């Protein structure tokens, strides 16, 4: 069964949704299952939430600079950034050495644009410091393309939410 969030194949693999789990299959056929059920709810002082995003961004000019060494450091770096800034990265993968997929969970008060800004800005600066040879393959000292793809990912389909809201009228 294909996901209502993403149909088809990504450059890095495929995503399918079954029951309350999100299954992400990466090109190497490694399957990551991310629980999206009630056990994944997070509790804050004023709310209970399960806010998830699929974020994708690419290297400027789609240069293939995210080699294996860079990728290993980069994935650790993303986890450090997330921890420091107060959100979680359940999984991240580099695709084709030129783009990144990240599955991120965050408190509702943290704007998705802030998450992307932190991930791209801090990682770009630190990757240039650790791997200066990357800068030679790019112009103007920018690692990442200025745009990004963002998709919200939830445990309940749009159809189920609409039915639930409609049912509220009859409950009184």
Residues annotated as catalytic are: 164
* CA atoms lying within 13 Å on the CB side of residue 51: 16
In terms of phi and psi (left: phi > 0; alpha: psi -120 to 50; beta: otherwise), the region of 120 is alpha
Tell me 144's DSSP state: B
Q: Compute the distance between CA of residue 142 and CA of residue 120 in angstroms, rounded to an integer.
A: 10
Tokens, residue 48: 């209970």
Tokens, residue 79: 């986890």
Those residues with Cβ within 8 angstroms of residue 50's Cβ, 6 or more apart along the chain or in another chain: 36, 40, 41, 42, 105, 154, 155
């Amino acid at each position: 069964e294909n996901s209502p969030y993403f149909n088809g194949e990504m450059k890095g693999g495929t995503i399918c949704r079954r029951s309350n789990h999100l299954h992400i299959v990466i090109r190497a056929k490694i399957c990551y299952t991310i629980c999206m059920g009630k056990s994944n709810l997070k509790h804050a002082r004023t709310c209970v939430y399960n806010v998830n995003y699929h974020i994708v961004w690419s290297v400027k000019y789609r240069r293939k600079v995210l080699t294996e060494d860079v990728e290993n450091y980069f994935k650790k770096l993303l986890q450090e950034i997330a921890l420091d800034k107060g959100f979680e990265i359940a999984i991240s993968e580099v695709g084709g050495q030129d783009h990144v997929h990240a599955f991120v969970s965050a408190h509702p008060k943290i704007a998705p644009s802030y998450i992307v800004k932190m991930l791209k800005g801090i990682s770009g600066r630190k990757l240039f410091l650790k791997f200066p040879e990357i800068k030679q393959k790019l112009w103007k000292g920018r690692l990442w393309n200025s745009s990004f793809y963002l998709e919200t990912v939830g445990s309940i389909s749009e159809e189920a939410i609409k039915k639930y809201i409609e049912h509220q009228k009859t409950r009184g």
